[in-house]
């Protein structure tokens, strides 16, 4: 990768978020992190270089990951989206067009490959 792909990880569990962020950073991605949808929206508003949103569904606050994905798609349609959960299974019509769902636990190689494929 010449210019690192900029990714926003939204996960309320600090250890899971840190594990994903560390793995993706080690693979050459530029990683931003948010513990909830509110913080994610602030980062999306202030970082126009974010290319991909990787969000958990269940989070504290008024907006869950599905709502965040929908709002991101409306406001920043170029941002690719991966929705993840260990508790829910999501159908393709429940997430924005072109988005993907990945179940937990995450397989680092699969996450990285999906991200590279989506922004290619």
How confident is the model over 8-40, as pLDDT tens digits?
999 999 999 999 999 999 999 999 999 999 999
Q: Check whether 1 has a pLDDT greater than 60.
A: no
pLDDT of residue 3: 74
Q: Are 9 and 21 a contacting pair, CB within 8 Å?
A: yes
End-to-end CA distance of the chain: 11
Whole-number percent of the chain with pLDDT over 90: 89
pLDDT classification of 2: cutoffs 50, 70, 90: low
Which pLDDT band, with edges at 50, 70 and 90, does 62 fall under? Answer: very high
Q: Which tops the pLDDT comparison, 23 or 88?
A: 23
Band of pLDDT at residue 50, cut at 50, 70 and 90: very high
């Amino acid at each position: 990768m010449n210019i690192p792909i900029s990714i926003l990880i939204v996960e309320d569990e600090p250890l899971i978020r840190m594990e994903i962020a560390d793995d993706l950073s080690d693979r050459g991605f530029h990683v931003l992190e948010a513990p909830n949808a509110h913080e994610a929206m602030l980062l999306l508003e202030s970082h126009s270089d974010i290319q991909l949103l990787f969000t958990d569904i269940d989070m504290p606050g008024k907006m869950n990951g599905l709502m965040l994905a929908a709002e991101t798609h409306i406001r920043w349609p170029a941002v690719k989206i991966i929705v993840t959960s260990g508790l829910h299974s999501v159908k393709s019509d429940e997430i924005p067009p072109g988005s993907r769902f990945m179940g937990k636990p995450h397989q680092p190689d699969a996450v990285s490959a999906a991200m590279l494929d989506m922004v290619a």
